[in-house]
Chains A and B, each alone.
Chain A
Amino acid sequence: MILRSIELESFGRFRGQTIEFRRGLNLVIGPNEAGKSTIAGAVPAVLFGTDRLERFKPWGRNVCSAVLFFEGQGRTIQVKRNLITDEVELIEKDDLYHVLSQFTGKAPLRGRSTSCREYRALLESLLGIADESLFRATYFFGHQPQEWSGEELAQKLRTLVSGTAETDYAEILDGLLNEHFQLTRRNPWGRDKQRDREYEEICQQLNEQGEAEPVETVPVFVEIDSSADIKEQIEKLSIELEGDHQEYEKGLRYIEHVRRQMPETSEHVDSTVVEGKPATLRTSTDKDNLGEQLAAAGLPQNPPRELPELLSEAAQVRQEFAELQQPFSVLNNREKKILTVPWMTLGLIVALLIAGIAVSWWQDFQFLWISVGAGICSTLFLGWGAWRQIERKKALAESRKERSRLEQKKLEAQKRQAGLSERCEAFGLPSSAVDLVRLQKLVTKHRELLEKCWNLAGIAVAESDACENGNASEDEEATEVGNASSDNDDAEKELLQLEALMTGFEAEFKRKELRLQNLRLQFNELSVNQDSRAKIPGTALHNRKRELEERITVLRKAINLLAGAVDEFSRSHLARLNDEASKLFGKITGGRYAAIKLDENMAPSVQVDGRRWVPVDHFSRGTVDAIYMSLRIALAKVRDDGRSLPLMLDDPFVHLDQKRLATTLNLIDLASADGQLILFSHNLDLGKRAARERWHVIPLDEDTVDTSSMEGEGHAGQLHLL
C-alpha cells in the first residue's frame, strides 16, 4: 500500500493543492517555511485526527480539510477529514470502482465512541495501523530524535515491540502481581512476602477456631456420617421396639389368664408381694424417677461407674490424633522442599564441555589446556551434583524415619481407640466419637445426677441381698401356716416370676423408647445444624477462603500466561528488531559498529570492538541519531506485516556529517526499494543526488506555495528528474 496523493483542500498555507507521490523514494524539497512539515503532518492528522488544530487551520478561515489517497493490491482507499469537525469519510474501492467498504462519521483523536471504534477497526484492517502514536513511532521520523531517547524511547519501544500501542504489558503484569500480593503473601516466583494478607489471616482465624482444615485435623471425628448412623440406629430400634411391644402385650394377656385361673389366692399373693417388699419397691420407684431424669438429660439409664474414665481416655485418644496431624503436615511440606538434582542440565553442561574438547582437538587449538579446564569443570559440576544427591538422600532418609515414627504413634492411637470402642460397646455405650464427645459434655453437666444414680445402685444391691434373706423367712412362715393348695403354690410362683420378668421387660421397653426418642431428637438437631451450617461464621470464613483460593489460582495462571506471552513475543520480535537494526547501523557506520542490542528494558547499546556493549548515551549526537534511525526503520520493517505503509522522514539528517549522510541516504534508498519512502528536506544538495538516483522530487518554495495557495490553482509544481 502506497500513499498516492494528498489533496490539501484547505490546510495550513495550502489551498486546493494535490501532492502526488510514487512508489520508491520521494523527495519533498524546499527551504524553511515552505510547508514540508505541514505536508508531513497532514498524513497522521487526516488518518487519526489532531489535537494541534491551530497548526493546520488556515488563518482567518473556518475550514480545514484534506484527503489522502492510498493505492495497492488492486484497491484504492480514500480518507477525507474535516479537522475542525472531525468528520471523516473513508471509502475503499476496487479496480472497477466498486465500493468495498465505507465509513462516514465523527472520529476525533482520542474518541471512545462506537463510531470511533468502528473507524479504527476499519483503518486497522485496511492499513494495519489504527493509532497515531504507533504511526508516529513506527513510520514517521521527525527531525527531533531527542524526543525519542531515554526512558520515553524505552517505554515506546517496549510498547511497540509488544504489538499494541498504548498498552504497557509490564504495567498490566504489575497490576496482576499487586492484586495477587494483596490477597496472599505466598510468592511462587520468589521469596514469600513479609506481611500476612487476607488469605493468611483467614487461615489463621480458622486455625484459632479449630476449623482450618476440618477433614485433615480431625479425620476420625467428622460429623458428616453421624446423621446417617443415627438414622440407621433409629430404624433398627423402631423395629426392635415393635417386636418388644407385641411380646409385652402377649405377656400381659398371659398374666391376666393365670390370675383368672386362681382367683381365691390372688389377693393373698398380692398382699404378700406388696407387704413383703416395701423397701425394694421404694428403691425401684426412686430408680425409675432417676432413670427418667437421666433419659431426659440424654444420659444412658444405667451409666457404668467407669464412664468418666472411658470418656477421659477417649479425649486423650482424640488429642493424640489431632496432635499427629501437625507433624504429618510439616513432614509433607519438608519433603516437597527437598530439591532434586538437575542431572539433565549437568549432563548437558558436561556434553558441551566434551564437545568443546572435541572441537579444540579437531581445530588443534589449545587442546591440552581446554581438556584440563573442561575436565576440572566437569568434575566440579558432577561433584556438586553428587553432593546434592547425597544431601537429598540424607534428607529423604531422615524424613522417612520421622514418618515411620509418626506412623507408629498413629497405629498405637488407633489400637487404643479400637480397645476403647470395644469397652464402650460392652457397657452398652455408643462408640462413635461424636457420641462420646456429647456424652462427655453431658457427664460434666450432670455429674451430681450420675453420682446419685451410682449411690442408688449401691443401695439397691444391698437391699436385693436383704430381700433374698427376708423372702426365705417368709417362705418358712408360709409353710407353717399350711399349704392351701400345692397347685396354687406352683401357679403363684410362676405368676411372681412372670410379673418380675414383665417388670424387667417393661423397664427395658421404656429404656428403648427413651433411647429412640433421644435418637430422634439428635437426628433432628443434626439436620437443623446441617441446614444452618452455611449461616455460621466459620462456614463464611471457609467460603471466603475458597473464593480467595480460586482468585489466587486464576491470577497466578494469568500472570504466568502473560509473562510467557510477552517473553515469547519479545524474544521473536526483539531478535528480529536487533538483527534488522544491527544490519542497518552497520551499513550506516561503514562496519565500524557491528551490532545494536536492546536489553529487556529496551535500552539500546552498541557493540564496540566486536565484544564490549556500550550504552547509547556514550556516543556522539550524530551516532545516536543513526542508532535511533536504524532502530526506527528496523521497527517499521518488523511491524510491516506486508502492508508496507510509507515511511516518512522529516529532515532527520541535520546532525549527520557528509560521509554518514551519504551512507544513510544509500540506506534509505535501499529501504525504499520494496515500498515507499517520503523524505522531506531543506538540503538543496539532495536535489543533485535525486537527479542521479532518479528519485521522485516534489520541490516546494515560498513562491510556489504562495502562488499555488490561490483559489483555483491546480497541482503543486513537481519535478521528475529522470
Chain B
Amino acid sequence: MTRLLGSAHIETLAREESVPGVLVRMVLKQAEHADSEEKMLLENALQLLLTRFQVMGGDDS
C-alpha cells in the first residue's frame, strides 16, 4: 500500500457519503487487486482529483 492510499485522511474520506467518499472507496477497491505500477497510477490520479476538489471547494489547505 502506498503512502496516500494508507493515510488517515483517505480513511476518513472513504467513510463520507459524498462523491469524494465514493471516489476513494472505488480507488481503494481497485488498489486491492492492483500491482505496484497500477497502484502508483491510482494514487497519482486520486491525488490530482483531491487537489482539484480542494481548489474548487475554495479550500486553500
Seen from chain A, the residues whose Cβ lies within 8 Å of a Cβ on chain B are 110, 112, 117, 162-164, 166-169, 171-172, 175-176, 553-555, 557-558, 561-562, 564-566, 568-569, 641
Contacts and interface: CB of A to CB of B under 8 A. Distances in A.
A561 B46 contact: yes
A569 B56 contact: no
B61 A562 contact: no
Contacts of B27: 561
Interface string B13-53: 00011111111001100000000000001101110110011
Interface of B: 16-23, 26-27, 41-42, 44-46, 48-49, 52-53, 56-61
A558 B46 CA distance: 7
Contacts of B58: 110, 112, 166
Contacts of B46: 558, 561
Given A172-B49, A569-B18, A164 B57 contact: yes
Contacts, number: 74
Among A110, A172, A565, A566, chain B packs the most CB atoms within 10 A around the CB of: A565
Among all A-B residue pairs, the 9 with the closest Cβ atoms: A163-B18, A565-B23, A557-B45, A558-B45, A565-B22, A554-B44, A569-B22, A167-B57, A172-B52
A163 B20 contact: yes
B45 A566 contact: no
B19 A561 contact: no
A108 to B, nearest CB: 13
A124 to B, nearest CB: 10
Contacts of A566: 19
B22 A568 contact: yes
A683 to B, nearest CB: 37
B53 A558 contact: no
The main secondary structure of chain B at its interface with chain A is helix
A576 B17 CA distance: 13
A561 B57 contact: no
Contacts of A166: 56-58
A565 B26 contact: yes
Nearest to A570: B19
24 contacts: A112-B58, A163-B16, A163-B17, A163-B19, A163-B21, A164-B18, A164-B53, A164-B57, A166-B56, A166-B58, A172-B56, A175-B52, A176-B48, A553-B41, A557-B42, A557-B44, A557-B45, A561-B23, A561-B26, A562-B19, A562-B23, A562-B49, A565-B20, A569-B19
Given A557-B41, A557-B45, A112 B57 contact: no
Contacts of B41: 553-554, 557
